[in-house]
Amino acid sequence: MHTTVQLQQILETAIKNLKFPASPQQLYDPITYIINLGGKRIRPLLVLMATELFGEDANESINAAMAVEVFHNFTLIHDDIMDNAPLRRGKATVHEKWSTNIAILSGDVMMVEANKNLAKVNSIFLKDVLDTFNATAQGVCEGQQLDMEFEERNDVSIEEYINMIRLKTAVLLGGALKLGAIIGNASEKDADLIYQFGENIGIAFQLQDDILDVYADPEKFGKQVGGDIIANKKTFLLLKAFELAEGQNLEELEVWTKLTDFSINEKVETITQIYNNLNIRNIAKETMDAYLSKALNLLNQVNVNDEAKKDLLTLTNQLMNRQY
């Protein structure tokens, strides 16, 4: 068994050892580039932690962890094209630095690289691992599709929103944990429980992101506070505000989300004030807490001793206590 810090070291070494062909250089350079932009490596860490949760060595699932990390980075490249994003972690996105065509194709070949890593998994688990990985990858694509569709719609319900973030971000956390559990030789029941744990944690994380976008400490937050408000992003907060607002609050929401020319600070202040009027922060926090609590209840049912669950709980708490 390894500590979380040790698992992170195993991951960093494995990521450093990921080898891609030297040519065509323009196809493979973006892969090295995006992977080395960093990130918290939460998803591959969850793979390893789940394997150790069930008493097997994390090195057994390192290839699955790499598959998850490479896949995740592939989705970032393609999402950035679709979202027309200029920056990723403060650096130029792949389509900006190279071209859209190269970003499409490098992404495609990353998906293949992810699958190559997956194929290295112990053949006893291979079929289960593939099924879990493919179902996860499919969910992520569906989530991105819904996210794009929601941009064009004005009738997105909270329920639809939760389902979208479940697919777009939470299933990959669930999938990562389930992959690790399968390789850790978990029972089917436990593998499903840990998957559900991950999905619920993932939804809680995204709700926390929605809250932090508005209420984070600007000194610590890595990006502009209110970015979602400026972009009219249909977050839990905005959807809930539209659901609850009446009279002047509703009128102002409608005016400000339709304006094309506005003072950024004034828009952020006004919408934040409407959120405050409607108690949106607390409602979002209660919803987030409900998913967190559901997740913890599911983890509690996993049939291993509490000691083995400690690191996963600590990680969850750390991630849920971000102030930025």
| Cis geometry, peptide bond prior to residue 24 (ω within 30 degrees of 0) | yes
Question: H/E/C letters for each residue in 84-128?
Answer: CCCEECCEECHHHHCCHHHHHHHHHHHHHHHHHHHCCCCCCCHHH
Q: How far is the CB of 107 from its own copies (least distance, A)?
A: 8
DSSP state of 166: I
Q: Which of 145, 249, 257, 277 binds its own copies (CB under 8 A)?
A: 145
Max Cα–Cα distance, the chain, nearest Å: 62
Residue 85 engages its own copies in binding (rule: CB under 8 A) = no
Token digits of residue 121: 């998994």
CA–CA separation, 157 and 162 (whole Å): 9
The letter for the amino acid at 231 is A
What are the residues whose beta carbons fall under 8 Å from the beta carbon of 56, sequence distance 6 or more?
183, 184, 185
CA–CA separation, 274 and 280 (whole Å): 8
Q: Which is nearer to its own copies, 105 or 290 (CB)?
A: 105
User: DSSP characters for 168-218?
Assistant: IIIHHHHHHHHHHHHHTT--HHHHHHHHHHHHHHHHHHHHHHHHHHHHS-T
Q: Which is nearer to its own copies, 37 or 141 (CB)?
A: 141
Q: Which of 29, 108, 192, 252 binds its own copies (CB under 8 A)?
A: 108
Binding-residue pattern over the window 231 to 260 for its own copies, x denoting contact by CB under 8 A: ------------------------------
Residue 105 engages its own copies in binding (rule: CB under 8 A) = yes
Token digits of residue 253: 């929401």
Question: For 216-226, b where at least 16 C-beta lie within 10 A, e where not — what string?
Answer: beeeebeeebb
Q: Which of 134, 314, 317, 318 binds its own copies (CB under 8 A)?
A: 134
Q: Which is nearer to its own copies, 183 or 298 (CB)?
A: 183
Residue 178 engages its own copies in binding (rule: CB under 8 A) = no
Q: How far is the CB of 117 from its own copies (least distance, A)?
A: 10
Token digits of residue 138: 């499919």
Q: How far is the CB of 140 from its own copies (least distance, A)?
A: 9
Q: How far is the CB of 184 from its own copies (least distance, A)?
A: 20
Q: Which of 104, 250, 319, 320 binds its own copies (CB under 8 A)?
A: 104
Instruction: Return the residues of window 15-54 that contact its own copies according to CB under 8 A.
Output: 21, 24, 26-27
Q: Which of 15, 92, 141, 244 binds its own copies (CB under 8 A)?
A: 141
Q: Which is nearer to its own copies, 36 or 134 (CB)?
A: 134
DSSP state of 220: T
- Segment lying near its own copies (by CB under 8 A), choices 102-110, 170-178, 221-229, 284-292: 102-110
Q: How far is the CB of 93 from its own copies (least distance, A)?
A: 14
Chain residues in the site for its own copies (CB under 8 A): 21, 24, 26-27, 78, 81-82, 101-102, 104-105, 107-109, 111-113, 115-116, 118-119, 123, 126-127, 130-131, 134, 137-138, 141-142, 144-146, 148-149
